[in-house]
Amino acid sequence: MTQQATHPAVSAAAIEAAVRRLLDGGLVAFPTETVYGLGADAENDRAVAGIYAAKGRPSNHPVIVHIAPEGDPAYWAAEVPHEARLLMQAFWPGPLTLILKRAAHVGSAVTGGQDSVGLRCPSHPVAQELLRAFARARPNGQGGLAGPSANKFGQVSPTRAEHVRAEFPDEVSKGMPVLDGGASEVGIESTIIDLSRLDQGVGAVLLRPGHISAAQIAAVLGAPVAQPDRAAPRASGTLKAHYAPHTPLELVDAARMQQALRGVGLPAGRVALVAYAGQPASAPGAGATDQLHWHAVPDDPARYAQALYATLRELDGQGYARILLQAPPRAPEWDAVNDRIGRAAAAFSLDTTGLA
């Protein structure tokens, strides 16, 4: 019998129904501390193919395997090196994905055809309960969920259950469970560290920044973390254009913000200006009838990250012609946010020499 999940909105019966769906090769949307995931049995290639089909995701783009705190990483990896054990001890459960050499039985569906696999142990209590229940239902007690973000490929990741339902109405209408664990605490995807090439003399490589910083990783390993080279494995969320809203988005610096506030070079239609700086007295407020609408977000990088995707999704539904996003500082603590909004802006071919 499944124990009661540790979130009031998700019952033991809901967890059991989700496990049955997974065992039958279906999809389940589940919360994590980063974003909501679209999950399938990581050892069922047909089920994983269902993720790719639902998302419109390229088949060579790997997905991360999520395991319970009691799960054995060595079941999924050909070897779990000392460096990986150190990082697991320091940051698991939590928003850290490790890329390791895959075990022989791990299929190419989750690895994107590569010889490496991404592993993560989420800290969200609902995710953990789901993973534990799924593992208990497996004959060998080892179960993992392939779980990319629960959104169409390249679009804004979901941080609330209602985002998932809006993104996949057809799948939900056909019975796909969406476990509602509340708003995601971190709000952006996990840090991804590659440790798959240690035998080649390549140390830890940062493939995607996240809530856990490169400096924190380096402090645990006692060695610097490198930037990816051409031989680095492909990883989730690392394409040039990603995390994009439907509304055209442009990053703007302070000078361009001032131009926008004066109405210089604005496109036709309503424009949203998203800024972490204090609102000038002359700036129109959100909901005003002026062409430019000011939307404030937190000036702290962690709280900014938590609010980012929900803000973009909210603005997407308000009929704006363009979103102007104030570029955060180029400082290490802002690396993860800058990575996400840079890829979101890259999805649009906008004139970067001005606002027009």
Long-range contacts for 198-205 (Cβ within 8 Å, ≥24 apart)?
198/81, 198/83, 202/226, 202/231, 203/83, 204/83, 205/229, 205/232
**The two structure tokens encoding residue 278:** 């204090």
**66 is annotated as contributing to ligand binding:** yes
φ, ψ for residue 326, nearest 5 deg: -60, 125
pTM: 0.93
Please check if 34 is assigned to a binding site: yes
12-221 CATH fold:
DHBP synthase (3.90.870)
Handedness of CA 84, 87, 88, 89 (dihedral sign): positive
Average pLDDT over residues 294-315: 95
Q: What is the pLDDT of residue 347?
A: 87
Backbone angles phi, psi at 306, to 5 degrees: -60, -35
Q: What confidence score (pLDDT) does residue 233 get?
A: 94
Mean pLDDT (whole number) for 334-344: 94
Summarize pLDDT for 4-13 with one digit per residue, the tens: 455 667 899 9
Residue extents of the structural domains in the chain = 12-221, 249-347
> What crossing angle do the helices spanning 82-91 and 214-221 adopt, rounded to 10°?
120
| Better-scored residue on pLDDT, 179 or 241 | 179
Estimate to the nearest angstrom the gap between the alpha carbon of 160 and the chain centroid. 12
Taking 90 as the threshold, does the pLDDT of residue 90 lie above it? yes
Please give the single-letter amino acid code of residue 350.
L
CA 12, CA 168: separation in Å to the nearest integer?
24
Q: Sorting pLDDT into bands at 50, 70 and 90, what band is 349?
A: low
Tell me the per-residue pLDDT of 125-163, one tens digit each, with 9 for 90 and over: 999 999 999 999 999 999 999 999 999 998 999 999 999
pLDDT at 78: 97
What is the DSSP secondary structure assignment for residue 58, as one 8-state letter? -
pLDDT at 185 over 80: yes
- Nearest-CA neighbor of 273 among 285, 264, 265, 282? 285
Q: Which of 201-215, 226-240, 287-301 has the highest mean pLDDT?
A: 201-215
Q: What is the pLDDT of residues 15-51, one digit of tens each?
A: 999 999 999 999 999 999 999 999 999 999 999 999 9
Range 211-228 average pLDDT: 97
Give yes or no for residue 265 having a pLDDT over 90: no
242 is in an annotated binding site: no
149 is in an annotated binding site: yes
When comparing pLDDT for 283 and 186, which is higher?
186
Beta bridge partners of 96: 191
159 is in an annotated binding site: no
Does 243 show up as a binding residue in the annotation? yes
DSSP-assigned states of every residue in 212-265: S-HHHHHHHHTSPPBPP-TTSPP-TT-SSS-SB-SS-EEEE-HHHHHHHHTTTT
Sheet holding 205-208, edge to edge: 28-30, 37-41, 145-146, 64-66, 116-120, 96-101, 191-194, 205-208
